[in-house]
Structure 1
Amino acid sequence: MTKNALLDAAEAVLSEHGTQALTLTAVADRAGVSKGGLLYHFPSKEALVKAMVARVIEEFDDLIASYLGGYDDGTPGAYSRAYVEATFEILTGEARAYRRWSAITAAATDPEQAEPLNEAMRRWHGRAPGDVAGPVSDPVAATVVRLAAEGLWEVVSHAPELYDEEQLAALKRRLLDLLG
């Protein structure tokens, strides 16, 4: 059993049953391993939650970086464009991605456990207008676009049936158009 499979099981428990149901026993049962097998990889519930938070941050950072790599150095709003592209890749991808964000949000209620996510939010949303691949013609619009993408992510994580592929594609186009 891999760590990722155990993290997937923990996310499924959270997504389907809420934070009260997140116990090591429930995760082990969901993963089809003994509690000892789970404890080998994650010695406590806190370690499991920490790994879930770290994984979602790392995966989103990697997606942003992959999209940033596709822009020229002078592309205005490249970071915000990459942020939107990464967000919509998650929103239109496999269902596990929806589960992950809501699971991390639900699990990270402890201030100590939430700090890595809080730091990532500060980094994702606190970017200066001119950093990464050139200036932004309208820094306020870039902020609004990133916040709208973040809000959409939150809504879709709780109600994935709300928007179909066509609606999500139209929203993505509009957000990217707002960046100029």
Structure 2
Amino acid sequence: MRRDELLDAAEELLCDQGSTALTLAAVAERAGVSKGGLLYHYGSKDDLIRGMVERLIDDFDELVAAQPGATYTERYLGATLAAVRSGRLRRWAVVTGASGNLFLLAPLREAMARWHREGLSDEPDPLAAQIVRLACEGLWDVASHDPELNSEEDLQALERRLSALLTPG
């Protein structure tokens, strides 16, 4: 079994049942492997959570890099909307799973600080860029609790409005 499949099983378990359900035995069962098979890849629950956090950071960095846009904030907005549209609410699952251990959240906190500082001084309007980035965080958080709240039409309207904030003039 591949590491990503184990991480997927852990994230699904977190999303479906919450952080108290995240046990190595439950993840192994969800993934259809023995507990020993899981332990081969992740020696502890903390290692598993660390793996989810690291994958989250890497995935979002890749998503930002793949977006069109002249500024980092434009790419950040595109990445956020792509993540929300895909239905992958991994961020919430990871934060829920790691919330009891600040050490495990440290890489995510560092990434969030980087994502919110990256290129800010190069933006035409740094304050507008900060507002858009914060709106992205709120959108993702709300979508993790109520994925059906915003239709595609709603997301397009939000994207237009937030993009307009980034247009100098």
Common fold by TM > 0.5: yes
Matched position secondary structure for 2:148: helix
Deviation at 1:128, TM superposition (A): 4.7
Is this contact kept in 1: 2:72–2:119, CA < 8 A?
no
Letter in 2 for 1:150: E
CA–CA separation in structure 2 for the residues paired with 1:18 and 1:151:
20
Report the AA paired with residue 147 of structure 1: L
- 2:52 maps to 1:52: yes
Q: Percent identity?
A: 49
Which amino acid counterpart does residue 91 of structure 2 have in structure 1?
W
What amino acid sits opposite 1:144 in the alignment? I
* Structure 2 partner of 1:3: 3
Q: CA RMSD in A?
A: 1.1
TM-score with structure 1 setting the length? 0.89
TM-score computed with the length of structure 2 as normaliser: 0.94
The match for 1:123 among 85, 103, 114 is 114
* 1:142-178 CA-partner distances (Å, limit 9, x unpaired): 0000000111001101110111111111111111111
Question: What letter is aligned with 2:110?
Answer: E
Q: Give CA deviations for 1:7-36 in whole Å, capped at 9, x if unaligned.
A: 000001100111011000000010111101
In the aligned structure 2, how far is the partner of 1:137 from the partner of 1:56? 29
1:90 maps to 2:112: no
Q: Give the residue type in structure 1 aligned to 2:72.
A: Y
After the TM superposition, which of the residue ranges 83-92 and 119-128 deviates more from structure 2?
Answer: 119-128
* 2:51 aligned partner, one-letter code: A
Question: How big is the shift at 1:129?
Answer: 3.0
Match of 1:107 in 2: 97
Q: Which runs of 5+ in 1 are unaligned?
A: none
Gaps of 5+ in 2: none
CA distance in 1 between counterparts of 2:118 and 2:32 reads 42
Count of equivalent residues: 166
Match of 2:164 in 1: 177
